[in-house]
């Protein structure tokens, strides 16, 4: 069996969109020692392909990080297979909140240096000592106490469309920049209760360990992140302290948590929280666009890109030469996003 996809992604996407098979979107991660990441990668690729899994999985010596979808009828098979690995036995699987099953169309499993890039090169740092987990009820209780600090460990475009009440944004472009910045910003609050959160838990878990490593005392992190929190408040009928939409890194680009729209269209300024990638293949900028601007600009971020998409394909290819295609997809930098409202 081939251990890599050999069908064009365009064709795979069309197949996925036309396939009526019910699918469930899931995310999970686990920090654990992986002695031979390449071999582990090949092993799980074979088995997950057989189950019909699609998605994005990173494997490293420090563990596994996955955002996937699987045929709903195969969820138990998937769970049994993952649990067959001792470190993954009992692993929490985060089930997507708003899910049409069309989140992924190919299985990509890549070996990386780390499952989340953190920039930490301190040999004394260890994930063995990490912050205390809190569930949705505990999160609500702790955040109701005076003096508790809530820190969002996601990127600016994630925070922009949805976040928890009184959450502090760490204004940086990457997670590796956020870690030292969070320490610096919280330096005078080392003895306070600090709760960190992210989308599914992987970033805030590492951040909590880093904060403890840097001398903080009372560090907590939201178990399973926003996804697990949203499911718990719904199932347990708890007050929901999250406002807006949860950004996700798949075809959906977001899960509706509440009906509130707290962001604005990057082109006209109207209330909007739908992310899109500019359809100009030489751009693919990630930005927020309302329905009116989507129609006006034909899914483009600017009049310049709108002009390009109407050029002959050969001319478009010439314009794309030398450009890193897709460089702006999930763009983490504010600096690289132009002021679209000037259009």
Q: Give residue-wise pLDDT tens across range 214-234.
A: 999 999 999 999 999 999 999
User: Is residue 310 predicted with pLDDT exceeding 50?
Assistant: yes
Q: How confident is the model at residue 39 (pLDDT cuts 50, 70, 90)?
A: very high
Is pLDDT of 31 > 80? yes
- Whether 67 has a pLDDT exceeding 70, the answer reads yes
pLDDT computed for residue 6 by the predictor? 66
Q: What is the pLDDT of residues 183-204, one digit of tens each?
A: 999 999 998 999 999 999 999 9
Question: At what angle are helices 37-51 and 75-83 packed, to 10 degrees?
Answer: 160
Q: Can you give the C-alpha Rg of the chain in angstroms?
A: 21
pLDDT-based confidence at residue 7 (cuts at 50, 70, 90): low
Position 2 confidence tier, pLDDT thresholds 50, 70, 90: low
- Given a cut of 90, whether residue 8 has pLDDT beyond it is no
- Give the separation between CA 242 and CA 195, rounded to whole angstroms: 14
What's the pLDDT score for residue 336?
Answer: 43
Per-residue pLDDT tens digits for 244-303: 999 998 888 899 999 999 999 999 999 999 999 999 998 989 999 999 999 999 999 999
Adjacency order of strands within the sheet including 242-246? 162-164, 242-246, 255-256
Confidence at 327, pLDDT banded by 50, 70, 90: very low
What percent of the chain has a predicted confidence (pLDDT) above 90? 76
Between 17-21, 114-118, 337-341, the lowest mean confidence (pLDDT) is in 337-341
Q: Where does the chain show beta strands of DSSP type E?
A: 23-31, 54-60, 63-71, 94-95, 107-111, 132-134, 149-152, 162-164, 168-169, 193-197, 218-222, 242-246, 255-256, 275-277, 286-288
Label residue 89 exposed, middle or buried (CB < 10 Å: 0-12, 13-18, 19+). Answer: exposed
Rounded distance, CA 136 to CA 150, Å?
Answer: 14
Confidence of residue 13 (pLDDT cuts 50, 70, 90): confident
| Number of Cβ within a 10 Å radius of residue 88 | 16
Using alpha carbons, list the distances in angstroms from residue 130 to 157, 208, 215, 216, 220: 27, 6, 12, 11, 8
Q: Which residues are catalytic?
A: 198
| Bigger pLDDT: 102 vs 167 | 167
The model carries a pTM of 0.84
- Contacts with 280 (C-beta within 8 Å, 6 or more apart), sequence order: 300, 301, 305, 306, 308, 309
Q: List, for residues 128-173, the tens digit of each pLDDT value.
A: 899 999 999 999 999 999 999 999 999 999 999 999 999 999 988 7
Q: Label residue 339 by pLDDT band (50, 70, 90).
A: low
Query: If you average pLDDT over every residue of the chain, what do you get?
Result: 90
User: Is the pLDDT higher at 1 or at 24?
Assistant: 24
140 alpha carbon, distance to own chain's centre: 23
- Helix, strand or coil, per DSSP, at residue 250: coil
Residues 6+ apart with CB under 8 A from 71: 21, 22, 23, 24, 51, 52
pLDDT at 109 over 80: yes
Burial class of residue 86 (count of CB atoms within 10 Å of its CB; 0-12, 13-18, 19+):
exposed
Do you know the residue count of the chain? 343
Q: Would you tell me the crossing angle of helices 202-213 and 175-185 to the nearest 10 degrees? A: 40
Residue in the structure block whose two tokens are 């940086």: 172
Three-state DSSP state, 316: helix
Q: Is the pLDDT of residue 16 over 80?
A: no
């Amino acid at each position: 069996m081939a251990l890599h996809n050999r069908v064009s992604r365009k064709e795979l996407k069309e197949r996925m969109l036309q396939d009526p098979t019910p699918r469930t979107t899931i995310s999970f991660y686990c920090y654990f020692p992986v002695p031979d990441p390449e071999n582990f990668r090949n092993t799980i690729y074979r088995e997950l392909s057989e189950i019909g899994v699609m998605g994005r999985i990173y494997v490293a010596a420090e563990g596994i990080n996955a955002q996937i979808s699987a045929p709903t009828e195969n969820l138990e098979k998937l769970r049994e297979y993952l649990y067959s690995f001792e470190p993954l036995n009992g692993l929490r699987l985060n089930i997507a909140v708003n899910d049409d099953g069309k989140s992924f169309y190919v299985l990509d499993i890549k070996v990386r240096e780390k499952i989340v890039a953190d920039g930490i090169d301190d040999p004394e740092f260890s994930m063995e000592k990490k912050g205390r987990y809190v569930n949705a009820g505990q999160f609500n209780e702790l955040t109701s106490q005076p003096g508790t600090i809530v820190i969002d460990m996601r990127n600016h475009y994630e925070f922009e469309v949805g976040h928890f009440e009184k959450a502090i944004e760490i204004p940086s472009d990457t997670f590796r920049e956020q870690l030292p910045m969070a320490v610096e910003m919280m330096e005078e609050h080392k003895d306070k209760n600090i709760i960190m959160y992210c989308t599914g838990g992987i970033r805030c878990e590492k951040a909590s360990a880093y904060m403890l490593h840097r001398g903080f005392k009372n560090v907590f992190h939201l178990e399973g992140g926003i996804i697990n929190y949203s499911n718990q408040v719904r199932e347990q009928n708890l007050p929901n302290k999250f406002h807006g939409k949860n950004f996700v890194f798949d075809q959906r680009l977001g899960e509706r948590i509440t009906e509130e729209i707290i962001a604005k269209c990057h082109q006209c300024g109207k209330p909007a929280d739908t992310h899109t990638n500019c359809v100009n293949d030489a751009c693919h900028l990630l930005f927020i666009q309302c329905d009116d601007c989507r129609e006006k600009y034909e899914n483009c971020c600017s009049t310049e890109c709108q002009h390009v998409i109407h050029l002959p394909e050969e001319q478009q290819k010439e314009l794309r030469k030398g450009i890193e295609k897709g460089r702006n997809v999930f763009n983490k930098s504010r600096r690289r996003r132009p002021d679209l409202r000037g259009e």
